Structure 1
């Protein structure tokens, strides 16, 4: 794939329907980009792809490097090359919503396009969640979100990888902001719920080229999928 194109395996709606028993391998995902997000089989933890390594961000703040054969039922990735970089006062983030302001400042004509970004540096505060994995086959992501593990980190250095997707793509992707964090020592992280930062570098790229690969499993093909906008907002934060 060329730089700043999106590769996605499966659909968010599939996770919302509990379809998560198989997928591509971590080794295959690494070939698709240098940064990305997703989850693992049985929705066990959050996935973060960063510069040749796939990390599994688990509940209780544990992190492991995925093995090449670990299976991934949902992921989105890109060969990220920043088209614009913001530093200094322009990169000050008083909250999660402030990041969207930075993206709009770079390209205010991208509301119906995708954007990818990487935020690196010192964070005053990052609030993250991780899901603990399905308790039974077919358990939905929305239900798992009711029992998610939440941790708050202060005065921490690390990296956020994220994507912004158009509202009309809700259910295929997560509409709006979707971002995962990992600290520089690879010991803490998760799906970002809240953030504050005043000393970071923000790389941004606009994306209009997407490649979506759908599973061919019986469970995927037999799942009844609908877009649960309320459920997605509750679990994604």
Structure 2
């Protein structure tokens, strides 16, 4: 959110952290989706590329995903996912949850950011020029995390999810969704490891939790 995104870990290092995840790339050039050992860059205008092993990542969350339960559900809205997660574990509001949604989505609204136009440009400003696309009756996969409210800033409190279609041609950060019948694999996460940057730029910037800005760009 503070715009410090000009360096990070490599894709090859991220792949050591898990088999499923999301994030962004250097200078916030598009959305990142990690799925089954492959890292995809979901770029503006709906384009997708497989990331190179030495591409750098300033922010990502990843997990070694193994579903503890898979359910088949109808999702009327993005908020419907909360009800599914609560039914799985209604005592996990202060824990992280990871999930994978697979199937045909009746409607999806996704965004991708085009990358910083100048050094230090904050995400809240980038969000005003984000590319937004709506897809209908598209088959694919959503990778998501639900993070506790107390972790806002380190993560996106609540739901944070990225989509990629089955043919790996379209995708992005999910703003809205609707599905008649999809499979949702769910796992609770209570072991969290955090690695912070050590650059001078990261340590010199004044950081605060931009709650309003985060909500406006992450949906």
TM-score (norm. length: structure 2) = 0.99
How far the C-alpha of 1:198 sits from its partner, in A, is 1.6
How far the C-alpha of 1:65 sits from its partner, in A, is 0.3
Gaps in structure 1 of 5+ consecutive residues: 1-15
Query: Which of the numbers 48, 61, 65 marks the counterpart of 2:50?
Result: 65
Find the residue that maps to 2:90 and give its secondary structure.
coil
- 1:14-29 mapped onto 2 (5 Å cutoff): 16-29=1-14
- 1:41-60 mapped onto 2 (5 Å cutoff): 41-60=26-45
How far the C-alpha of 1:223 sits from its partner, in A, is 1.1
Using the alignment, how far apart are the partners of 1:171 and 1:223 within structure 2? 15
How far the C-alpha of 1:136 sits from its partner, in A, is 0.1
Instruction: Give the number of the structure with larger relative contact order, counting CA–CA contacts within 8 Å between residues 6 or more apart.
Output: 1
Say how many residue pairs are matched. Answer: 219
Using the alignment, how far apart are the partners of 1:120 and 1:193 within structure 2? 17
Using the alignment, how far apart are the partners of 2:49 and 2:162 within structure 1? 15
How far the C-alpha of 1:72 sits from its partner, in A, is 0.2
Given the alignment of the two structures, is residue 171 of structure 1 paired with residue 145 of structure 2, yes or no? no
Find the residue that maps to 2:129 and give its secondary structure.
coil
Using the alignment, how far apart are the partners of 1:27 and 1:200 within structure 2? 31
Given the alignment of the two structures, is residue 140 of structure 1 paired with residue 125 of structure 2, yes or no? no
Q: Which residue of 2 aligns with 1:92?
A: 74
Find the residue that maps to 1:69 and give its secondary structure.
coil
| RMSD after superposition | 0.5
Q: Displaced runs of 4+ in structure 1, greater than 6 A?
A: none
Find the residue that maps to 1:233 and give its secondary structure.
helix
Find the residue that maps to 1:158 and give its secondary structure.
strand
Q: Which residue of 2 aligns with 1:104?
A: 86
Find the residue that maps to 1:86 and give its secondary structure.
strand
Using the alignment, how far apart are the partners of 2:35 and 2:10 within structure 1? 15
The C-alpha deviation readout for 1:201-227, integer Å capped at 9, x for no partner, is 100001110000011011111111000
- 1:26-37 mapped onto 2 (5 Å cutoff): 26-37=11-22
The C-alpha deviation readout for 1:165-185, integer Å capped at 9, x for no partner, is 000000011100000000000
Q: Which residue of 2 aligns with 1:197?
A: 179
Gaps in structure 2 of 5+ consecutive residues: none
Find the residue that maps to 2:124 and give its secondary structure.
helix
How far the C-alpha of 1:199 sits from its partner, in A, is 2.1
How far the C-alpha of 1:228 sits from its partner, in A, is 0.6
